[in-house]
Amino acid sequence: METQTDRRRTVPLLIALVAIVLIWLMPDIETGALDSGPRPDEAYRALVVDPAPGPDPDAPDGAENDVVIEFREGPREGQQTRATMALFIGSLATHELEAGDEVVVTIAEDFSGDEFIAINEPDRLPVLGLLVLLFALTMILVGGWQGLRALVALGLTVVLVIKLFVPLILEGVPPVPLAVGLATLVTITSVLLTEGWTRVGGVAIVGTVGGLVITAVLASLTVGALTFGQATVGQIAFFELPSGQLLDGGAVLLAAIILGTVGVLDDVTVTQSATVEELAHRSGHGAGTLWRRGLRVGRSHIAATTNTLFMAYVGASLPAIIFIIAVAEPPLLTLNRELLALEIVRTLVGSIGIVLAMPLTTVIAAWVFARRSTAEAEIGG
């Protein structure tokens, strides 16, 4: 027989699954910024038919670096043509290609307006697909229904980012409030899927939103004071919005900091809320005692999560950090480098938001669960 707790968790799961399907099937938002960005006109998966066909007699320069490929998708599916090897595509080189290799080709116009087809990179989607499948199976086998609900929450986050968040930014919607809104929606969805319609989940949502607001305000102040340039946002700084203005790279950076913090915030706030609830249930203490005891647990938790946040950012930017540190210059000037300074800002701003969200969540939880314990005691008496 289905319990009330099961229903509280099943209903959000079904709603999230329906939302994933509907959002994924919705028409793509037209993004005018993409028309002005430095990106290839088309990109398709293809199959290498002949890795060394020899010079092309119809080409003026002989096209000795050509490879014969067959399109596997798109309007030219099944057609064979010559494609030029890109100048730099990682470990892939002409002599390493074999017939049957799967690659990605791009179709663009050269300076004379003629069509230019190039092999851009190996097709990594099959291996990535296997990795995603392994991840999903691991989550379900180890986490059970809890793991399945976490996968659904992750799936909803992915489709929201791909189908709504990024296209709306390219349409000129301010990235910072958009990021706060997305992070709040992701938080509500994740908590409801894992905790259900409970007081623990409600307190965690309020604490997370508070931490997000703190992070957004502090990130805005810090990034504005440090004046980061194009190195932090790359080529998207040249994307032109439908209004005619360039994409605000600084705002995109702020949005990235906010979104990068939300996952750890969820973990801290849910843990604090559940801890205080358990303390209230076992001891029946008042709000003040619950606050102090919950804070002791939270202090240990934030020490670990702050280090986790730092290592996550370092891991994502390790090649660039190695290159910068290898340059012979004074240590303080090395820290002043834009890429390193950005990682410092991400870590410290995110950590401050997490640290302050912990006592905020604890005080809300202490007030909520102390009142509930008092009410239950009065009913029992």
Q: Where are the domains of the chain?
A: 39-123, 172-380
Alpha-carbon Rg for the chain in angstroms: 26
- Residue among 181, 193, 123 nearest 155 (CA): 193
Alpha carbons 216 and 200: distance in angstroms, whole number = 24
- Residue among 72, 96, 71 nearest 85 (CA): 96
Residue 40 three-state SS: coil
**Selected residue with higher pLDDT from 339 and 80:** 80
Look at residue 135 in the predicted model and tell me its pLDDT. Answer: 92
Distances (CA, A) of 198 to 183, 212, 372: 20, 21, 13
Look at residue 1 in the predicted model and tell me its pLDDT. Answer: 39
CATH number of 172-380: 1.20.1640
The answer to whether the beta carbons of residues 108 and 116 sit under 8 Å apart is: yes
Confidence of residue 375 (pLDDT cuts 50, 70, 90): very low
Alpha carbons 265 and 273: distance in angstroms, whole number = 12
| pLDDT digit string, tens, across residues 234-260 | 666 667 777 777 777 778 888 888 888
Percent of the chain scoring above 90 in pLDDT: 3
Whole-model pTM? 0.71
State whether the Cα torsion 161-209-237-312 is positive or negative. negative
Report the Cα–Cα distance between both ends of the chain, in Å, rounded: 31
**Selected residue with higher pLDDT from 3 and 49:** 49
- Residue among 357, 71, 334 nearest 204 (CA): 357
Backbone dihedral angles phi then psi of residue 115, each to the nearest 5 degrees: -70, 135
| pLDDT digit string, tens, across residues 17-30 | 777 777 777 776 66
Look at residue 134 in the predicted model and tell me its pLDDT. Answer: 95
Class of domain 39-123: mainly beta
